[in-house]
Structure 1
Amino acid sequence: MGATLRALRALVLLAGFHLLGLLLLALLGALDWVAWRWAPAVWALKTYAVSLLLAVPVVRGMLMLRTPRDEGVGGVPVTEAEEPRLWAAVRELAALVGTRAPDEIRLTADMNAAVTEDARLLGLLGGTRRLYLGLPLVAGLSEARLRAVLAHELGHYAHSDTRLSGITERSRLHVARTVERFEEKAGLKVARERARQERKSARRVAKGRTARKVDTTGVGLTYRVMARIYTEYGRFSLRATLSDSRRQESAADLAAARIAGRDATASALRALPALDAAHEFYLNAYATLGVEFGMLPPRGEVFGGVRHLLEARAEELAGTHVELPAEPATPYDSHPPTAERVATIESLPDDGRAAEADRPAFALLASPEKALPEVEDATLAPEALRMRRLDWPDLVHEAMTARYVRDTEELREALGEPTGAAGAAGLYGLDGLDQAERLRLEVEAFLDAVDAGTVWGLVDRLPQSEEAAAATGRAAREFARSSLRRELARLLTTVLAVDGRARWQFSWSAPTSLLLPDGYAEELPAALDAAIADRPDTERLRTLLAAG
C-alpha cells in the first residue's frame, strides 16, 4: 500500500471516530425524543440526565483537536562538529536509503534506536526529523550491526512511515482518552454506590441488625457499555493499522539488508532480544542496586556500565543469538516475530559482505566518555543526580550490606533491646553505639535467647510459609529450626559485613558473593547447627563473633 493510500486510510479511521461519536449522540437524542413523547415526566427527566452525562465524554473526545507531543523522549542533541563520524555515517546511510537525513541526532539512555518526524497538516507535509540513538545499544553492537540498525530506522523515513504515524496516533489517542473518561465515570459511580451501601450497613449494625453484603452489580453499566463501544472501534483501528506497521518493519529490514548487508542485518536482529534482556538485568542487578539507599555508580556509569557487563559475558550472550525467542503472533503486534524477520533476511542471496572488517560501534563516537555523563545528566531525575556516587566494588558492598541490615530489621525488632551479655550497652545507651557494635550486641541477644530457651518464641513473629504455619509437632519444630538458622546466619553475616570483616565481592561475570574471614566458611555451618540444636551450644558462634 502506497503512502497516499495509507494516508487516506488513516484519515478515514480518524473520521470514523468522529462519525461514531455523531451516531452515538444521535442515538441518545432519539432516546430523549422517545422519552419526551411517551415516558412519564419523572422517567423522561432521568433519561435526559443520563443522556447528558453520556454525551459529555463523547463531545469532549470529538473536540480534542490537538495531539499532545510526547515529552517522554529526551536525550542529548549532538551536532556534526561534536560527532563528525556518527553524522557522516548517518548521512551516508540516508543517501543510500534514498531519503533526507535527520535534522537532529539525539543520544539517549535506551537500548533502542528510533526516528520521529514533526509532520504538519496531519502528516501530509514533512517536518523536523530526529534520530534517537541509545548509548547502551551502541555499546552492545559492532559497527556493521549498528549501521544495519540505522539503515532500518532511516528506511522508515523513505517509506513515509514517520510522516503518516501522526494521523494514526491521533486516532488511537482519541479513542483511548474517550474510553478512559467513560471508565473513570463508571469507577466513580461504583465507588459512590459502595460508600452509600456501606453507610447504610453501618447504620443497620448500630441498630443491632445484620449488615447486608455490598453489591454494586450493574452500577455504571451505561458508562461501561459506551466504553466497550469505543474499545471495539479502537481494536478495529489497531488491527487495520498495525498490520501495515508490520509490513513497514519488514520493508525497513529489507532496506537495511540491501545497504548494510544481509549478514550484518540478520546478526543485528538476532542480537537485539539478548541485548534487551542483558540491559534489563544490568539495570536491576547493577545500576539501581543501591538506589533505595541513596547510592549510584560513578557518573557516566549508570547507563554506560552495561558495556562492561556485555564485554564480560560476551560468550554467554553469543550463545543466546542462536535460538531466538518464540513470540506468538497476534493482530495487535507492531512488529513481526523476530524469528520470522531473521528467517526472511537470511533467506536472501549471499551479498558477499560476510567477511567485512568490523569494530565496536563506539568507534563512531568521538568521545563516548563525554557523552555518557551528559546523557545521564539529561535523563536522571534531580533527586537521583544528588545521590552519593561510589565506585562499583564499594557500591556493591555497601548496597548489599544495607540490604541485609534492612532485611534483618524485623528479626531485630522481635529481639527487642539487647539484654544479658549485651547489657553493657546500658552503660551509655544504645544510641551511643555505632551500627556495627549495635548489630553485634543484637547477635549476642539472639544467642542469649537461645541459651535461655526463649528463642523459639521468635518464630511466630517472623514470616512463615503456608506449609510452615500449618505444620504441627515435630514438623513444626523442624520448620522453626530452619527459620531460626537462616535468620541467625543472616544477622551474623550482616555484622561481619558492617564491621568490615566480610566483604561483598563485585563481578561482571558472576553473581555477587560474600568473602568471609579466614576459617569462617569452614566453621560457620557447624556453629550454626550447634546453636539451634535441641541441646544448643552457642559457644562456637560466640567465638566466631569475637574473632578478628
Structure 2
Amino acid sequence: MGATLRALRALVLLSGFYLISLVLLAALIGIDVALFDLGAHGFAAVKIGIVSVLLAVPVVRGMFMLRTPRSEDPAAVEAGEADEPRLWALVRELADESGTRAPARILLTPDVNASVREDARLLGLRPGPRTLTLGVPLLTGLSEAQLRSVLAHEYGHFTAGDTRLSAIVVRGRAQIGRVVEQFHATADGKVSDERERQERTAAKRIAKGKKAREVDTRHTGALYRGMAWLYTQYAKLYLRASLSTARGQEFAADLAAARIAGRDATASALREIPVLTAAHGFYLESYATLGLPARTLPPLGQFFGGFGQLLTARAAELDKLRAGLPTEPESRYDSHPPIAERVRRIEALPADGRGTAGDGPAPALLTDPARTLRALEEAVLTAEAQGFRRTADWPELLNIAMAEGMTSAQTPLHRALTAYNGRPATLADLLDAIDEGRLWRVAERLPLSEEAAAAKGRAFREFARPALGDSLRTMVLAEFSARSLLSWEFSWSRPAAVRLPGAATTAGASPEDVFQAAVDAALADRPDTAPLRALLPPMAAQPA
C-alpha cells in the first residue's frame, strides 16, 4: 500500500470517529426533541435533558481536540554534531543513501531501541523537523554494520512517509482514548457517589436498630459505560486497522535496510535485538540496581556502562540465544510483526555478497563513550538516586548489597520461629530448637502446600526439608555477614558465589561443600548441629 493510500485510509479511520460522534449527538438531540413533542414536562423531562447534556460533553470535547498530542523527548542525552562527528557522519551518509533528509537531532537513550519521529504539521501534510533516538545499550551490543542496518530501517520509515502519516493515526487514537476515558471517569464518579449514599443510608438504619441493605452499585453509571463500550469497539477496529498498516511498514523498512546495509547485516541485527533486550533487562535487575536497597550505585558511568562487560563475559550463552528466534504469538494489536517472521523474510532474500567480517563495534563511533555514559546517568537517574553513594568497583557494590540483604532478611523460618517462641528469632534459638527436638513443631508454622500440611511423620519432614534448608542457610550466612566474616565473589558470567570463613575448610572439600554438609546434618532425621556450630563464632552459638 502506497503512502497516498495509507494517508487516505488514516483519514477515513479518523473520519469514522467524527461520524460516530455526530450520530450520537444527533440521537441525543432527537430523543430530547421527541420527548418535548410528546409533551413530556416536569422533573423527568428535565432530568433526561441534563443526562443528554452530560453524555454529550465528552463527545464534543473529543471532537474538538484538534491538536495532535505534542511529542515529548524521553530522558536522554542530545548528541551534538560537534561532540559526535563520527556518529553524525554515519547518520548523514545513510540518509543520502536512503534518499531522505537526515534528522535534525540525535537523542541517546537508556533503552535497547532505535526510533524516528517527525514533528509534521497540518496532520502530516507538511514536513517537520526529524528526531532520531538511539539507545546506548543498543549501540553497546551492535557492530557498525548492524547499526547501519538499524538506521537504514528507520530511514525506511522516512522515505515511505510513515512518520508524517503517524500524526493522523496518533490523533485518532488520542481522541478516541480521551472520550472513552471521560465516560469511564464519569461512570466511576457516579458509582462512588452512589456507594457513599447507600453507605450513609445503611449507617442510619443500623443506628436505628434496623437491618441495613447490601450496597449495590451494579447498574449505576451503566449508560456512561455503554457509551464508552461503543467507542471502545471502534477503538479496537481503529487499532487493528492502523496497526496492521504499521506491520506492513515494518516489513517494507526491513527491505530498505537490506538494500542499503546488506542482507546479512540486517538479518543479524534483527536476531541481535531480542537478545540484547533480554540481556539488558537481566543486567539492570541483577547488576545495575543491585545496590539500590542500600542506597548505593556502581562506579560513576557504570550504571549503564557495565552492560558491555556482561555481554563480553556471557558471549557463549548469548550465542545460544542468537541461534534461535523468539516464538511469541502474533497479536492483532502489535505494531511490529514477530521478529522470527521478519528474520525469515530477510534471510530468504538472495545473497548480496555483503557480509559483516572485519566489522568494528558500534560504540567506537562515539568520541568518548565513558563521557556519554556519565552524561546518560545524569539525564536518566533521579536526583535522589544521583545522591546515593558510589562504590569504587563492582565487587564492593556486591558486598554492600548482599550485606544489606542479609541484615534485612526475614525467611519463613524466622517468622515461624518467632511465632513459636513469642519473641524475635535468632540463629542461636534455632540451633537450640533443633537440639531439643522442636524443629518439626516449628516447621508446622511454615507456609505449606495443602499436600504438605496434610502429611505426617517422615512424609511431612520430606516436604518441609527444602524450605527449612534454604532458610537455615540464609540465617547462618546472615550471622557470618553481621560479624564481617563473609564476602562475595563477583562475576559477570555466573551468579555471585559466597566466600565462607577460612575455618570452614577440610582436606579435599571446598568451604561451600563443608557448609552445605553442616546444614544437611542439622536437618537430618537424627539432627546434629555440631558441624554447624563449629563454623560459627563462639558468641553466635550462645543463646540470645
**Equivalent residue runs for 1:449-528 within 5 Å:** 449-451=433-435, 458-459=442-443, 462-471=446-455, 475-476=459-460, 479=463, 483-517=467-501, 518-519=504-505, 520-528=511-519
Letter in 2 for 1:283: L
AA aligned opposite 2:519: L
Q: Which amino acid in the other structure matches residue 223 of structure 1? A: Y
Residue 189 of structure 1: CA displacement? 2.1
Counterpart code for 1:521:
E
Aligned equivalent of 1:29: 29
8 Å Cα contact 1:263-1:354 kept in structure 2? yes
Write the distance in 1 (CA, Å) between the matches of 2:252 and 2:41: 62
What pairs with 1:418-429 in structure 2 (closer than 5 Å)?
A: none
After TM superposition, the structure 1 stretch with the greater mean CA deviation from structure 2, 51-60 or 3-12, is 3-12
- Displacement of 1:534 in angstroms is 6.3
Structure 1 window deviating more from structure 2 (11-20 vs 292-301): it is 11-20
Q: Given residue 349 of structure 1, which amino acid in structure 2 is its aligned partner? A: P
Q: 1:529 to 1:107 in 2, by over 3 A?
A: closer
**Residue 115 of structure 1 aligns to a residue in which SS?**
strand
Partner of 1:406: 408
Opposite residue 58 of structure 1, the aligned amino acid is: V
CA contact 2:69–2:174 (8 Å) conserved in 1:
no
What is the CA-CA distance between 1:526 and the residue it aligns to?
A: 4.2
* Amino acid across the alignment from 1:524: F
2:262 is matched with: 261
Does the 8 Å CA contact 1:35/1:47 hold for their aligned counterparts?
no
Match of 2:508 in 1: none
Q: How does 1:158-307 map to 2 (within 5 A)?
A: 158-204=159-205, 212-307=213-308
Q: What secondary structure is seen at the aligned counterpart in 2 of 1:125? A: coil
What is the one-letter code of the residue matched to 2:288? A
Q: Tell me if structure 1 keeps the 8 A contact 2:244–2:332.
A: yes
Displacement after TM superposition at 1:99 (Å): 0.3
Evaluate the alpha carbon distance shift between residue 210 and residue 506 of structure 1 in structure 2; reply closer, same or farther with a 3 A threshold: farther
1:495 Cα deviation from its structure 2 partner: 1.7
1:541 maps to which of 514, 532, 540: 532
Q: Deviations over 1:161-180 (max 9, x none)?
A: 11121121011011111111
Distance change (3 Å), C-alpha of 1:504 and 1:337: same
Conservation of the 8 A alpha-carbon contact between 1:152 and 1:252: yes
Secondary structure of 2:128's counterpart equals strand
**What displacement does 1:62 show?**
1.8
Sort the Cα spacing of 1:500 and 1:227 in 2 relative to 1 into closer, same or farther, 3 A. Answer: same
Tell me the CA shift for residue 251 of structure 1: 1.5
TM-score, structure 1 normalization: 0.88
Structure 1's 351 and 538: CA in aligned 2 closer, same or farther, altered over 3 A? closer
Whether the aligned pair in 2 keeps the contact of 1:179 and 1:230 (CA below 8 Å) is: yes
Mapped to 1, the partners of 2:33 and 2:356 lie a distance apart of 77
Measured after TM superposition, the shift of residue 484 of structure 1 is: 4.1
Q: Which has the higher mean CA deviation after the structures are superposed, 118-127 or 485-494?
A: 485-494
1:433: which partner in 2?
none
- Segments of structure 2 that go 5 or more residues without pairing to the other structure are 506-510, 540-544
Deviation at 1:330, TM superposition (A): 3.0
Bigger CA drift: 81-90 or 293-302? 293-302
For 1:480 and 1:120, the matched residues in 2 are separated by 66
Superposed CA RMSD in Å reads 2.8
* DSSP-derived class of the 1:131 partner: strand
One-letter identity of the residue aligned with 1:399: A
Match of residue 382 from structure 1: 383
Tell whether the 8 Å contact from 2:18 to 2:63 is kept in structure 1 after alignment: yes
Separation (CA, whole Å) in 2 of partners of 1:521 and 1:96: 59
The alignment-based identity, stated in percent, is 55
Number of residues of Structure 1 aligned to a counterpart in Structure 2? 528
* Structure 1 SS opposite 2:252: helix
CA 1:310–1:477: 2 relative to 1, 3 Å: closer
CA distance in 1, matches of 2:362, 2:290: 27
Specify every segment of 5 or more residues in structure 1 that has no aligned partner in the other structure, as ranges: 423-438
In structure 2, relative to structure 1, the CA distance for the partners of 1:412 and 1:151 (3 Å cut) is: same
Alpha carbons 1:239, 1:331 under 8 Å: kept: yes
How far residue 75 of structure 1 moved from its aligned partner, in angstroms, is: 1.3
Provide the C-alpha distance between the structure 1 equivalents of 2:203 and 2:76, rounded to a whole number of angstroms.
55
Cα distance between partner residues in 1 of 2:253 and 2:212: 64
Task: Output the CA distance in 1 between the equivalents of 2:93 and 2:276.
Answer: 26
Distance 2:494 2:458 in 1: 39
Over 3 Å counting, the alpha-carbon distance change for 1:195 and 1:475 in structure 2 is farther
Partner of 2:362: 361
CA distance in 2, matches of 1:119, 1:7: 14
Q: Which residue of 1 aligns with 2:5?
A: 5
Change (3 A) 1:263 1:527: closer
Residue identity in the other structure for 2:252: A
How far apart are 1:338 and its partner, in Å? 1.5
Displacement, 1:222? 0.9
Contact 2:68-2:171 within 8 A present in 1 as well: yes
Q: Is the 8 A contact 1:408 1:490 kept in 2?
A: no
- Structure 1 CA distance for aligned equivalents of residues 363 and 59 of structure 2: 51
For the residues of structure 2 that align with 1:357 and 1:410, how far apart are their CA atoms? 55
| Whole-Å separation in 1 of the counterparts to 2:533 and 2:70 | 64
1:17 matched to 2:8: no
Report SS of the residue matched to 1:127: coil
Whether contact under 8 Å (1:489, 1:528) holds in the other structure is yes
* SS of residue matched to 2:335: coil
Q: CA deviation at 1:340?
A: 1.7
Q: Distance in 2 between matches of 1:67 and 1:308?
A: 42
Structure 1 residues 531 and 206: CA distance shift in structure 2, 3 A = farther
Q: In the TM superposition, what is the alpha-carbon distance from 1:138 to its structure 2 partner?
A: 0.7
Q: CA deviation at 1:415?
A: 5.7
* Deviation of 1:406 (Å): 2.2
- Confirm or deny: 8 A CA contact 2:412 2:447 kept in the other structure: no
User: Match of 1:319?
Assistant: 320
- 1:257-298 Cα deviation digits (max 9, x unpaired): 111111111111111111111111111111112223312212
CA contact (8 A) 1:135 1:304 kept: no
Alpha-carbon separation, structure 2, partners of 1:102 and 1:177? 31
Q: How far apart, in 1, do the equivalents of 2:201 and 2:314 lie?
A: 63
The 1:414/1:340 distance shift into structure 2, 3 A limit, reads closer
Tell me, what secondary structure is at the counterpart of 1:191?
helix
- 1:442 correspondence with 2:426: yes
CA distance in 2, matches of 1:219, 1:412: 48
User: Which amino acid is 2:148 matched to?
Assistant: R
